[in-house]
Amino acid sequence: MKISSIVGKDKLTLSFEVFPPKTDSDFEKVKEAAFGVAAIKPAYISVTYGAGGSTSTNTLAIAKGIQEKYGVATIAHLTCVGASKDSIIKSLSDMRDAGIENVLALRGDKPKWFDGEPFKEYKYASGGFSVGGACYPEVHPDSANRQEDIINLKKKVDAGCEFLTTQMFFDNSVYYDFVENVRKAGIDVPVIPGIMPITRESQIENVIKLSGCKMPQQFIKIVDRFKEDKASMKQAGIIYATQQILDLYANGVKNVHVYSMNDSSVAGAIYNNLSDILSM
Ligand code: FAD
């Protein structure tokens, strides 16, 4: 099923992100974890792509498996950094053959091991086969400023992105301001907020490094108070993410994407917290 026929409608939806195994020896273990998230039967599942295409066949295998076993629509991420046009065409045709109808078209970051010209054929995520794209409420780290970032975002939408998923954020006002600016720029596709449940203190450093997003004082206090007790920290992270999602729905957002990181206990808890709301 096409994601564009799921998002932007009246029905409230929750979707999850899973990642594929990095190595073939991990395949079964990681597949089972990803399938655990699919068993919750969210609106759809996105399957990430390892830096520089390092997991391309596993991304496809996980996405195909989820669709076939659980009947849940998937969107396969695809990065173009370091890729040739031929390899992108091949990836897209493999996706079609596997019955995947949705692609999150990404530029990606230069992988650590890659020493070639990273953006020779594809400089940015705009252009070519594109259904969904990424956007950055707290501005992409490569952008000079928000205005420039939004101008470039418009190019992606004009090139065919039918919906956008945001980088994670922990303060909803950041998302509301961003959407206001995006709409002023004439971008009218759904902007799906990406919510990351932080259930361990150790995730924070990585998240900040990866996304550059700010942690609000309210959340820092929660982490400081509960970080020493694993179960309490997990519960607090789930509650915080649920509250963010609830606030988004209350403010008219229809579709929320959760960076659930293959943890079905976290994804399931958030889903259950919102079960009546989601079946409205
Ligand atoms: P782009 O949209 O190309 O933007 C990158 C920079 O280039 C920005 O500064 C932008 O303003 C600028 N730019 C864009 N178009 C133009 C243009 N036409 N002219 C001039 N400047 C331009 N990474 C992975 O490796 N695998 C994944 O599976 C993955 N999934 C992600 C999912 C989401 C929802 C998000 C938010 C990010 C994901 N990433 C993933 C990370 C992403 O690949 C990096 O953030 C990367 O640095 C940017 O990719 P992009 O597609 O957003 O880039």
Write the pLDDT tens digit of every residue in 167-219. 999 999 999 999 999 999 999 999 999 999 999 999 999 999 988 899 999 99
How far, CA to CA in Å, does 216 sit from each of 105, 171, 240, 252? 30, 6, 12, 22
Q: Given pLDDT bands bounded at 50, 70 and 90, which one contains residue 122?
A: low
How far, CA to CA in Å, does 65 sit from each of 79, 90, 162, 189, 266? 21, 20, 25, 29, 21
From the number of C-beta atoms within 10 Å of its C-beta (0-12, 13-18, 19+), residue 10 rates as exposed
Q: Which of 78, 106, 157, 195 to mutate to test the pocket of ligand 1 (most atoms within 8 A of CB)?
A: 106
Residue 50's nearest CA partner among 93, 92, 8, 83 is: 83
Ligand 1 neighbours by CB, cut-off 6 Å: 48-49, 51, 77, 79, 106-109, 124-126, 134, 140, 142-143, 149, 152, 155-156, 165, 167, 194
Q: Which of 9-13, 50-54, 148-152 has the lowest mean pLDDT?
A: 50-54
69 C-beta neighbours (distance < 10 Å), count: 11
Residue 128 has pLDDT above 60, yes or no: no
* Mean pLDDT, residues 62-81 taken together: 96
Point out the ligand 1 atom lying closest to the alpha carbon of residue 135.
36
* Mean pLDDT, residues 105-124 taken together: 72
pLDDT of the residue at 130 = 43
3-state helix, strand, coil in the chain (%, to 5): 45, 15, 40
